[in-house]
Structure 1
Amino acid sequence: MRKKLLRQGAPRFPVRRWWETDHLCEIEQIYFDAIRTSPSVLDVGAGDLRIMGKLKRAGYAGEYHTQDVGTEGAYTYRDLDEIRRPYGAILCLDVIEHLALREGLTLIRKMISLLQGGGVLVLQTPNAGYIPDPRSWDMTHVQTYNPGDLWAFLTCEGLDTTAYRVVLRDPNPGPIVSTRMAITAYVKRRVLGCDYANNIAVIARKALGPASGL
C-alpha cells in the first residue's frame, strides 16, 4: 500500500523555517496550532523540556506529560509501556532518527495507539534527502526518513497526514545571506537532485472514534 501511494504520487511538501528563539519559530507555530485545543499532550523524548516551555508560554493550557529515558529533566514517564491512558496529542521531536528502522516504526505505531480518536501526532526528524555539512553529522543518528516515505507510512496507518520540509534559517536574513542560500538551494535541488531542507515535520491526525481503551 505504501509503495502504491508513492507510485500514485506524493503531495508537495511545503517548506517552513526553524530558527533559534525562546518563542515559537515558524514550524513550531504549526506544532502549536495542531495541539492547542487538545485536552492533553504527551511529549515523547522530552529532553530538556524546552518545547514544553515554549508551548505553555504560547498559551497551551491543557495537561502536559513527558517521557524520556534520559536525566535532563523530571519526566512523567520513563517508558511508554508505563502509560495506561490515551492522549489528545503526542509530540515526538528529533527522536526516531536515533532508533533502527524497525524500532522507529514500532515506536510510531505505539504512539498512534496512545492517541485518542481525533488526536494528533507531531513528528520531527532529519530529512534523508538533505546534503549536510560532513562536520555536522550526529554519530547517534542511525536512521533517516524522507518526506514521501514517512507521509505514505502514516497515511497507510490510517492517519490524515500533512508533511513539511524544514529549513534552518533566520527569520530575517540579509540580502547577501539570502542570495547565498538561494544559490545553495538551487544547486542542491536542481543540479544534484537532493534537498536543501534539513528536517521533516509531520502532522498526522487519527480518525475520529471512541478513545482507545487503555
Structure 2
Amino acid sequence: MQPDLVYLNYWKRKELLQSKTPKFPLLRWCFSQELCEVEKVIFSKIKNQNTVLDIGAGDLRFMQKFKQAGYSNIYHTQDIGEEFKYTYTTLDEITYQYSAILCLDVIEHLQLKEGLSLIHKLIDLLAPDGVLFIQTPNGRCIRSPLASDMTHLHCYNINDLWAYLTCIGLQVEGYRVVFEAERQTWKQQFLNLVTRYMITRILGLDYADNIILIAYKLNLTQ
C-alpha cells in the first residue's frame, strides 16, 4: 500500500518543528533584464551543474536568463502548456536523472497531495548529490496567495515544507522572498520598516510574498 504523503512522517515533522526551526533569510525578487537577487542565488548553485531540468518552465524566462548569465550545459524544460516549445510535456517522458531540478511557482497549482507527489517524483529524477529548487507563494503572507491567481489551489508555509523535505532525508536551506526592487529611496525603506513591524509583531503574519527551498539529495553510498 502506498503511504499517504500528506501524513508521511507527520509526528516526526511536528517534533522537528518543536525542537529547531532555522532562520530563513530574506531575498528580493523583481522584473529585470539581469538576474535579480533570488535568481543570483539559484544561478550560483546551478552554474556548475551538468544538467538542469526546469519543471513548469512556462514562458522559458528562467532558461533564457540563466543562459544569458553564462549557463552553457544541458538545460531541459517541461510544461503542459502549448504556447512555447518544451523538451518534455509530461514527467513520464523523462528517462534519466538531472543534477539540478527547478520547480518554480508550480506546486501551488496542485492540491496538497498532488503537490507532494510531484515533489517525490522530482526527487526520484534527481541524481545523487543533486539539488532541487522549490519556489511557491508564502502561505503566511498577509497578501493572500490565492488572491493573485485563480489557478492557485494550495498554499505552503516555509516551516512545514522545510520539515517535510528534511524528514525525507534531504539537506534543506530556505529563503523568504519579497517582491521589491533592490534599490529603494529612504522613504520606501522607512515605510517598509513600519509596515513590516506591524505585520510581523502585531498581526503575527509575514510580508514575504514567496518562499524558496533548496534541497540537496545527499549521496549516502559514498
> Shared fold by TM > 0.5?
yes
**Aligned partner of 1:41 among 52, 63, 74:** 52
Alpha-carbon distance in 1 for matches of 2:59, 2:80: 12
1:115 pairs with one of 126, 147, 168: 126
Q: Which residue of 1 aligns with 2:4?
A: none
**Whole-angstrom CA distance in 2 between matches of 1:96 and 1:20:** 21
State the secondary structure of the residue aligned to 1:155.
Answer: helix
Distance 1:4 1:135, change over 3 A: closer
Q: CA deviation at 1:136?
A: 4.8
Q: State how 1:64-213 maps to structure 2 within 5 Å.
A: 64-132=75-143, 136-208=147-219
Q: Compute the displacement of 1:115 (Å).
A: 0.4
Cα deviation for residue 67 of structure 1 reads 0.2
C-alpha spacing 1:80/1:12, structure 2 compared with 1 (3 Å): same
Shift of 1:137: 2.5
Q: C-alpha distance in 1, partners of 2:100/2:145?
A: 35
Deviation for aligned residue 1:182: 1.4
Moved over 4 A (4+): 133-136
1:72 Cα deviation from its structure 2 partner = 2.5
CA 209–8 in structure 1, closer or farther in 2 if over 3 Å, else same: closer
User: Aligned match of 2:43 in 22, 32, 44?
Assistant: 32
Contact 1:34 1:203 in 2 (8 A): no
Note the alpha carbon deviations across 1:25-78, whole angstroms, 9 max, x for none: 011111111111110000000000000011111111110000000022100100
- Tell me, in whole angstroms, the C-alpha distance in 2 between the residues paired with 1:14 and 1:65: 29
- What are the ranges of 5 or more consecutive residues in structure 2 without an aligned counterpart? 1-11
* Cα offsets for 1:66-116 (capped at 9, x unmatched): 000002210010000111100000001000000000000000000000000
Deviation digits for residues 135-183 of structure 1, max 9, x if unmatched? 9531111101001011111111211100100011111111111111111
Aligned AA for 2:76? H
In structure 2, relative to structure 1, the CA distance for the partners of 1:130 and 1:96 (3 Å cut) is: same
Task: State the aligned residue count.
Answer: 210
Gaps of 5+ in 1: none
Number of the residue aligned with 2:27: 16
Q: CA–CA distance in 2 between the matches of 1:134 and 1:13? A: 19
Question: TM-score, normalised to structure 2's length?
Answer: 0.91
Name the Cα RMSD after superposition.
1.4
One-letter amino acid of the counterpart of residue 141, structure 1: H
Amino acid at match of 1:24: L
Partner residue in 1 for 2:7: none
Look up the match of 1:5: 16
Match of 2:9 in 1: none
